[in-house]
């Protein structure tokens, strides 16, 4: 059995990242939308994007608390809770930063292969 090359793995990762951010039909449903708290769920999605967004939110100025609830790794919809002033703006900022980081990561990978 031939060993898979590093380039092959980079291509898989790059394809996954592009697919993750090219989904124009990802649904986000706000369950709670208040002045200092927002709760949202991602219907029919796994927790990959929600986890990445949660991690990015922790480094976003103004975020006080972020939690991610996923009842089971294979079933259910992940729910993200954000506490801070104007949580929708915080979520938008974190999503934009996450997209920028992924694009930089993709460029670095493509440069190496």
- pLDDT tens per residue across span 10-54: 666 666 666 666 656 678 899 999 999 999 998 877 788 888 899
Domains: count for the chain: 1
pLDDT tens digits for 58-70? 999 999 999 999 8
Residue 6: inside a domain: no
* 3-state SS, one letter per residue, for the chain: CCCCCHHHHHHHHHHHHHHHHHCCCCCCEEEEECCCEEEEECCCCCCHHHHHHHHHHHCCCCEEEEEEECCCCCCCCCEEEEEECCHHHHHHHHHHHHHHHHHHHHHHHHHHC
The answer to the question of residue 65 being in a domain is: yes
Residue 10: what pLDDT? 66
Q: Is 1 inside any structural domain?
A: no
CATH number of the domain where residue 39 is located? 3.30.1360.10
Question: Domain limits at 80?
Answer: 25-102
Q: Is the pLDDT of residue 2 over 70?
A: no
The answer to whether residue 31 is domain-embedded is: yes
Q: How far apart are CA 8 and CA 11, in angstroms?
A: 5
Query: Is 15 within the bounds of a domain?
Result: no
């Amino acid at each position: 059995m031939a060993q898979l090359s590093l380039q092959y793995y980079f291509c898989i990762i790059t394809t996954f990242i592009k697919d993750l951010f090219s989904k124009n039909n990802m649904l986000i449903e706000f369950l709670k939308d208040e002045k200092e708290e927002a709760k949202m769920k991602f219907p029919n999605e796994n927790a990959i994007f929600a986890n990445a967004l949660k991690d990015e939110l922790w480094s976003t100025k103004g975020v006080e608390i972020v939690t991610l609830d996923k009842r089971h790794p294979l079933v259910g919809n992940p729910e993200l809770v954000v506490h801070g002033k104007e949580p929708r703006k915080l979520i938008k900022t974190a999503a934009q930063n996450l997209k920028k980081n992924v694009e930089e990561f993709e460029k670095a990978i493509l440069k190496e292969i």
